[in-house]
Structures are given as structure tokens and as C-alpha cells.
């Protein structure tokens, strides 16, 4: 709504400026209209930047997804819940962007099976799809820690995970800034190390969470980091850093999902 309005305002002001320049009052008009155009353009720019760093799933979409999954899935069956996510995504492009493609799912499955993690951390859980996908691959004694900043999204994710049949002793969900959540997990929950981290880039918060993991010594040589949505500007910065760092080794990738190993030089 705001984006369309701003575009209309800018277009109208520019059209008015073009017409005004042919009149005897062109200089006066330009002195008024040009700053207005510049101001509107600046507001539009700030809006676009904020949208890039903002979670993309609004509350209305979340509620619709929850209703669909609750009504159409077989409760206690994670694969059924994941399937209903996919079914609903066919009518909602926002949800579709959140899910893994078939190739990415195979890539994720291979990465988890190869690393055989017991402790997994998901930064940017959104509506719980990625957390459920990984939980299906963990052994009975495995544990998944999920972090989501937005209250409504965290509530949706927890409900979806529970509907899938996973118990509270198999996962822990924290609704906090990733860096704060990791400090809580380390201090309150006595988290000592993380075998695998999935980072879903929606803002720079999750990258700050990764920095906290390294500062607290929770990553060890061989820890696997999966980076999703790597078209995000902050993801590109980290990938460039990882490719030139002795701390990380970029192993392989599938579309916008990249596998990095910590503690091994490229």
C-alpha cells in the first residue's frame, strides 16, 4: 500500500514538474516541486530498505496457514504437516518463498545425515517448516533449539512443531533476538556446543547470532552451518568473509542454500 502510494506521488510530482518548466513560473515551481520529489524518493528508499530486512510473513497469512494445517494435516505426523505447508503454498506465494525446493530438501537431508548432529540450532524459525524438516532427521536423543524474534511467528512455529508430534523434550523455542537467545541457551540451558546451525537470512540479527556462537565457543571444528536465503545482502557479506577466512570452509551449495564447515580452512 505505502509503496504504491509513494510511487504514485513521485510520478505525479515529476509530471507536474515537467509541465511547470514550460511556464513563466518554472523556477519558483521547480524550487518547490524538486524538494518534494527528493523527499518522496527518500521516503520510498527508506521504506524499501526496511522491507528488505523485515520478516515477510504477515499475521493474516500466518493465521490462514495455521488454520489450514490444523484442519488438513494428520496430527502427530510431521510429513503430513510438511505436506500441508506445501499444499497451502500453492495458493500463497509468501509461504512458497519460505519453503525449501525439492532440490534444497535433498541437500538439507544429505547435510544433516552426513553430520549426524545431536544438537541443532535454527536462527530464523519463521513458521516452523525448517525446524520440523530437521527434527524428522534427528535421533531420539537429538535436540533442536529454535529462535524466532517475532512473537506471532514464534507462536505459530511452536504450534506447528507440536502438531507434528514432537515433544517439549525434543525442542526448545525462544522468542528473542538471536544473540540474546544464544546467551540464554548457554547460561540457563547449559548449552555447550552446537553440531549444526541453520541460518535463515531475513535480517542481520541472525548473523549477529552466529558471531555470538563463535564468541561463546559453542562452535567447534566440524560444526556445520547451513545458510538459507543467501541473496540477502548480509548473507553475501558473510559468504565473502567465509571464502577468505581460515575459520570457515564453504563446502557446496544448492540454489540459495549453502553449506559451510566451521574450523576448517578453505
For the cut 70, the answer to whether the pLDDT of residue 136 exceeds it is yes
Q: Cα–Cα distance between 239 and 8 in angstroms, integer?
A: 37
- Can you state the angle between helices 205-215 and 233-243, rounded to 10 degrees? 30
Can you give the pLDDT at residue 246? Answer: 85
Can you give the pLDDT at residue 254? Answer: 95
pLDDT band at 2 (very low <50, low <70, confident <90, very high): very low
> What confidence tens digit (pLDDT) does each residue in 165-219 have?
999 999 999 999 999 999 999 999 999 999 999 998 776 788 889 889 999 999 9
How many other CB atoms sit within 10 Å of the CB of residue 14?
14
Whole-structure pTM value: 0.78
Can you give the pLDDT at residue 207? Answer: 81
> What confidence tens digit (pLDDT) does each residue in 44-91 have?
433 343 444 444 689 999 999 999 999 999 999 999 999 999 999 999
- H or E element: which one contains 3? helix 2-20
Amino acid at each position: 500500500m505505502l509503496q504504491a502510494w509513494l510511487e504514485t506521488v513521485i510520478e505525479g510530482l515529476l509530471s507536474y514538474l515537467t509541465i511547470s518548466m514550460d511556464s513563466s513560473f518554472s523556477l519558483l515551481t521547480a524550487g518547490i516541486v524538486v524538494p518534494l520529489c527528493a523527499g518522496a524518493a527518500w521516503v520510498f528508499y527508506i521504506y524499501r530498505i526496511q522491507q528488505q530486512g523485515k520478516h515477510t510473513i504477515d499475521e493474516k497469512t500466518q493465521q490462514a496457514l495455521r488454520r489450514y494445517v490444523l484442519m488438513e494435516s494428520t496430527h502427530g505426523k510431521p510429513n503430513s504437516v510438511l505436506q500441508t505447508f506445501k499444499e497451502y503454498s500453492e495458493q500463497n506465494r509468501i509461504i512458497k518463498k519460505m519453503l525449501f525446493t525439492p532440490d534444497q530438501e535433498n541437500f538439507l537431508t544429505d547435510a544433516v545425515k552426513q553430520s549426524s548432529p545431536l544438537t541443532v540450532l535454527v536462527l530464523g524459525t519463521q513458521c516452523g517448516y525448517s525446524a520440523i524438516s530437521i527434527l524428522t532427521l534427528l535421533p531420539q536423543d537429538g535436540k533442536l533449539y529454535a529462535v524466532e524474534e517475532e512473537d506471532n511467528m514464534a507462536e505459530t512455529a511452536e504450534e506447528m512443531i507440536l502438531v507434528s508430534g514432537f515433544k517439549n523434550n525434543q525442542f526448545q523455542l525462544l522468542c528473542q533476538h538471536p544473540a540474546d537467545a544464544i546467551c540464554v541457551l548457554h547460561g540457563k540451558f547449559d548449552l555447550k556446543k552446537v553440531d549444526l546451525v541453520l541460518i535463515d537470512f531475513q535480517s542481520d540479527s541472525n548473523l549477529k547470532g552466529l558471531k555470538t556462537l563463535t564468541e561463546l565457543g559453542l562452535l567447534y571444528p566440524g560444526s556445520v552451518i547451513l545458510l538459507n536465503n543467501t541473496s540477502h545482502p548480509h548473507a553475501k557479506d558473510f559468504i565473502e568473509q567465509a571464502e577468505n577466512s581460515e575459520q570457515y570452509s564453504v563446502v557446496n551449495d544448492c540454489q540459495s542454500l549453502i553449506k559451510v564447515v566451521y574450523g576448517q580452512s578453505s
